[in-house]
Amino acid sequence: MKCPKCGSFNCRVVTTKRTTEGPYEVVRRRRCVSCDHRWYTAQLAEIEITSDEMVWAGDQIKLKLHPLFGLPDAQHQSLPS
């Protein structure tokens, strides 16, 4: 993971917690070893996808289900620390 403050890839997970409420399954506290910046990241629950919902396109797999093809940018961003 890349540090949002300095851009270093030298980052570590400090804590990992599973949640039972809200849209996220796992919340992680991360720390950059280079600049000591700390922030949270969240992981959405995994969804099972059947083989008939995928199509091979060269070396990549593309999903036929459009809502699962890409998440809104807000769900990819880190949570504020």
Q: Which two tokens stand for residue 81?
A: 């620390």
Inside any domain, residue 70: no
Answer positive or negative: Cα dihedral of 20, 15, 77, 81. Answer: positive
Inside any domain, residue 8: yes
| Cβ contacts of 19 within 8 Å, gap of 6 or more | 25, 26, 27
Inside any domain, residue 40: yes
Name the residue with higher pLDDT: 1 or 7.
7
Average pLDDT, the chain: 76
Percent of the chain with pLDDT over 90: 40
Q: Is 58 left (phi over 0), alpha (psi -120 to 50) or beta?
A: left
Q: Which of 3-12, 41-50, 60-69 has the lowest mean pLDDT?
A: 60-69
Inside any domain, residue 37: yes
Inside any domain, residue 68: no
Supply the range of the domain harboring residue 33.
1-45
- Give the count of domains, the chain: 1
Inside any domain, residue 29: yes
Is residue 14 predicted with pLDDT exceeding 50? Answer: yes
pLDDT the model gives residue 59? 62
Q: Are 63 and 69 in contact (CB under 8 A)?
A: yes
Inside any domain, residue 62: no
pLDDT the model gives residue 55? 66
